[in-house]
Amino acid sequence: MTRPVVGVVLLLVSLAGIVSSGRDATGDVLRLPSEASRFFRPSDDDEVEGTRWAVLIAGSSGYWNYRHQADVCHAYQLLRKGGLKEENIIVFMYDDIAFNGENPRPGIIINSPHGDDVYKGVPKDYTGEDVTVNNFFATILGNKTALTGGSGKVVDSGPNDHIFIYYTDHGGPGVLGMPTFPYLYADDLIDVLKKKHASGTYKSLVFYLEACESGSIFEGLLPEGLNIYATTASNAEESSWGTYCPGEYPSPPPEYETCLGDLYSVAWMEDSDIHNLRTETLHQQYELVKRRTINGNFAYGSHVTQYGDAGLSKDKLFTYLGTNPANDNFTFVDENSLLPPTTAVNQRDADLVHFWDKFRKAPDGSLRKVEAQKQFVEAMSHRMHVDHSMKLIGKLLFGIERGPEVLNTVRPAGQPLVDDWKCLRKMVRTFETHCGSLAQYGMKHMRSLANFCNAGILTEQMAEAAAQACASIPAGHWSSIQKGFSA
């Protein structure tokens, strides 16, 4: 037999083997060339050593904060499509949105104007009053005995495992909001991450954080060498932004009176939704999300920032998020095909957007219109009270001229917000004792309270100034007596 004939026979035999092994297990279906990546690659378990874990947390409650739970539900669906098992995904959310009387589509949550329901199938691991700082930390550390309530699921990880943590909510310098008290303080979070590293129970950890001044949670606090890579929606000094809000383009469906998502969160998830995450690195997504979140200008956007071990950003997203097999042929390209909205809403103003849109659409003379007006006025009154009280305390402590300067001082990049975190907590508690709850809006003043500590102000001095500035504690919804203390 001549060489050409032998070659043809061998080729036919090889092709027959490929066709045979390439038939679908459930039928006589041939794998097409477009499925080559799935045909030739090994299984997910062979490619990534260890187990993928995820902790998803929405740190707010109230319908005007719809977007945070929508973000978390979207993240859950993304991870499940990527191949993560339900038992390895722990979800924290207050769960007061899907069946809220304000929700125009009961039992359904969407994260974009034309998006599918992201609520269906999301596990109720920690809901309502079980969404606490203590349970969040215990979950990360894998400490079941420290839990109070909830499903009992924790990150029971080993030395070869990969952990993804995603947090979305309101925040302020050095602090992240929670639907319960106390709030989450940056030094406590960093201590927990250090303990997790010391336990030797992960190979690498990625933390995505959506909140105002979210960079301050890691700035000067997260050291290198922990195998942790974090990105934040904003730097340490600026707000983050809601998106798909009433009055924007694109806007939510007309029956919605609230923002559907957050700009940074939507950016990383909508990117992950459409790409083969085997081909896209953390750094590539960081650069894409950074461009989309700055939104082409500084008026409606923020500076996405990275912290920790930047070397991990070379990892493929697949290592942490898995990948949707339907995206096998959609390789990442270094351009932003997802255009940012024309405008966005400051996270701290999203509640006002909801109350105003509700008021605007309600029929004249209706109870709904009266209720919306009352909510708007109460929110504005609280803001004015907190702002005025903080300015007056600053003047009482430092004088009329120096007071505003101390309140607004920003430490150089690379330094933490405050040197004495116990002092900061005391300042917060003292303010709330005399002036009422800071609440989600008042977290913007955390830097001022930190500056009091950095300037050497004692708790007794703060108490005296706060007592003079606030003749009484505001009654009703914003009372620290009713709501408890955030520190």
Catalytic residue (one of 73, 212, 259, 453): 212
Tell me which residue has tokens 């001082």. Answer: 409
For the chain, what's the residue count?
487
Asked whether the beta carbons of 79 and 89 are under 8 A apart, the reply is: yes
What tokens were used for 2? 């001549």
DSSP 18-69: HHHHTS-TTSS-PPPGGGHHHHHS--HHHHS-S-EEEEEEE---SGGGHHHH
Asked whether the beta carbons of 168 and 262 are under 8 A apart, the reply is: yes
343 Cβ neighbours under 8 A, 6+ residues apart: 247, 248, 249, 300
Annotation marks residue 212 as catalytic? yes
Element (H, E) at 172: strand 171-172
231 Cβ neighbours under 8 A, 6+ residues apart: 207, 208, 209, 286, 289, 304, 305, 306, 307
Catalytic residue (one of 68, 170, 382, 445): 170
Q: b vs e for 458-485, b when ≥16 Cβ sit within 10 Å of the residue's Cβ?
A: eeeebbbbbeebbeebbeeebebeebeb
User: E strands along 258-368, which residues?
Assistant: 261-262, 305-308, 345-346
Q: Give dist(CA 324, CA 321) in Å, integer.
A: 9
Q: Mind telling me the catalytic residues? A: 170, 212
